[in-house]
Structure 1
């Protein structure tokens, strides 16, 4: 092409960062691809809420540790609860059932505690029971854990998050129980090989 690279050329001294390209062995059938894209969009929509919930819980815990009496703690928590209800209630009401199910899993991923346990710890067991009963009407179980090694959908969620973090689509926040994506992928690949 008429170009010659010399040893003092800047191209040789500076690395070039290329965008990662994933090559899959199998092509998804149209229905599977549609389901994956739906799941991806649901994760993109709900992950920011789980991330915010995790950050707020850390802030609440830090402040609660500084308060001396239970009366101060209850008063502070009531203020925070009212603020969060006003900020998020309308947005969360617009989530679909499936998005709600994914949000429950992502909250567990980010906090290390199921949504049911969070309500029980911060409010009461009675409130947690009724919240879960109400959620069950909408086919959402607040006790659902995030289990990427046991549940295929959770593995796909972890895959979507991994790719979104690497591409800059979502802001990464470490989960309470970090998962090695390479180990997880190997685990599911071995499981698929055994099944076939």
Structure 2
């Protein structure tokens, strides 16, 4: 799932440095009769710009020749840019750090639930009997209740709402839809009624692009991942097919 904002998939940078052992310009090293031996067969020439490949120390590298100047370039690894939040006043700063504390507290629950759901779906894919699937789903429900219920009962209403949002983040489904899918719509209805009494919505999506609080939550997560404070979950369902 391509769901994380602020990520630039590939960053292409031109590293303007001289070739070690080749020289600054092509014309200084080879005459017109030997150019073909230097250019790769796939070289592209447009006016005074030539894009070509060369071999150095056993590696095939890329470069661009612009008006006689040789410019080597490489494709860098993925780079993640995370903006640092700014605050208008001390109250906004305090709210941010309260939110951060809550996110750090409930994200591990979302990770465990997401991983367990991936395992459940992998197992269901291998079952053909509807009866076996119902039995396995029941075991999954019992696991969640045994593992999470005592601790979730201790969460505040706002922590419960953040957990619902993070479950959406990790599964691409709202808690309401998850209950509908793996239990029944009737059960989901009553769970949502109970949640509403506690000021929690099971239907609300996680939308960091348009929702300001969700945007802050995502910022907190991304900064925590890069700082090693949290480990980001890597979904394993559906299985990735290698091309």
Q: Normalized against structure 2, the TM-score is what?
A: 0.61
Shift of 1:100: 0.6
State how 1:146-161 maps to structure 2 within 5 Å. Answer: 146-161=206-221
Greater Rg by CA: 2
Q: Which residue matches 1:43?
A: 103
Distance, in Å, in 1 between the alignment partners of 2:194 and 2:157 is 12
Displaced runs of 4+ in structure 1, greater than 6 A? Answer: none
Distance, in Å, in 1 between the alignment partners of 2:144 and 2:121 is 15
Q: Which residue matches 1:114?
A: 174
Shift of 1:172: 1.1
Q: Deviation per CA, 1:120-171: give whole Å up to 9, x if none.
A: 0000000010010100000001000001111100000010001000000001
Match 1:165 to one of 225, 230, 233: 225
Q: Secondary structure at the match of 1:135?
A: helix
- Distance change (3 Å), C-alpha of 1:25 and 1:31: closer
Shift of 1:25: 8.8
State how 1:29-68 maps to structure 2 within 5 Å. Answer: 29-68=89-128
**Where does the alignment leave 5 or more consecutive residues of structure 1 unmatched?**
1-21, 177-196
CA contact (8 A) 2:174 2:205 kept: yes
Mapped pair 1:103 → 2:163:
yes
- Give the CA RMSD over aligned residues: 1.9
Mapped pair 1:140 → 2:235:
no
Greater share of residues in strand: 2
Q: Which residue matches 2:148?
A: 88
Distance, in Å, in 1 between the alignment partners of 2:145 and 2:85 is 46
- Distance change (3 Å), C-alpha of 1:70 and 1:25: closer
